[in-house]
Amino acid sequence: MILLFVLRVVSATPFVLVEPYRSDWSAAHPVVRGGTVLVLEVDPALLTMTNTPRPVLYVGEAPVEVLARDVDAGLVRVVVPGALGAEAFIYFGGAALPETITAEAGARELASARAAGLLPLRIPVSAAAVTVLDHAALAGR
């Protein structure tokens, strides 16, 4: 496995949703009630979009929803549902469609990444959780 590392976590903003939504970004379709919006710095080449499968971005064992990307700057803004500790394994796994990633597949990806030497990244949570109305408002932030 060739690990595709996330370079750093630029920012982390906790949020709470007034109107939860059902995420399309894994086979489990978790309901997102709150979590953390991360801005990550990555290799810009990993942010180009094609219609064939691209490496999936994970935090821990779960794919994360991409809200926005700045390919030129190599920045990507993602949603991590639920609680997030002071550190997390953040990495690009194998090419796939995120909606097809089961919990078992996610666990395998993390195990492979850790076996390949993946280390956790520090999460620089810098503020108290903000209240956001809904999914659209979250994407617009």
Least distance from other proteins to the Cβ atom of residue 54, Å: 8
In the bound state with other proteins, the residue whose beta carbon lies nearer, of 66 and 105, is 66
In the bound state with other proteins, the residue whose beta carbon lies nearer, of 49 and 128, is 49
From residue 72, give the alpha-carbon distance in Å to each of 21, 41, 75, 90, 118.
30, 11, 8, 21, 25
Interface of this chain with other proteins, residues 83 to 122, rule: CB under 8 A: 97-100
Backbone angles phi, psi at 7, to 5 degrees: -75, -45
CA separation for the pair 59, 88 (Å, rounded): 7
Q: Does 25 bind other proteins (CB under 8 A)?
A: yes
Residues near other proteins (CB under 8 A) are 21, 24-25, 48-53, 65-66, 97-100, 134-136, 139
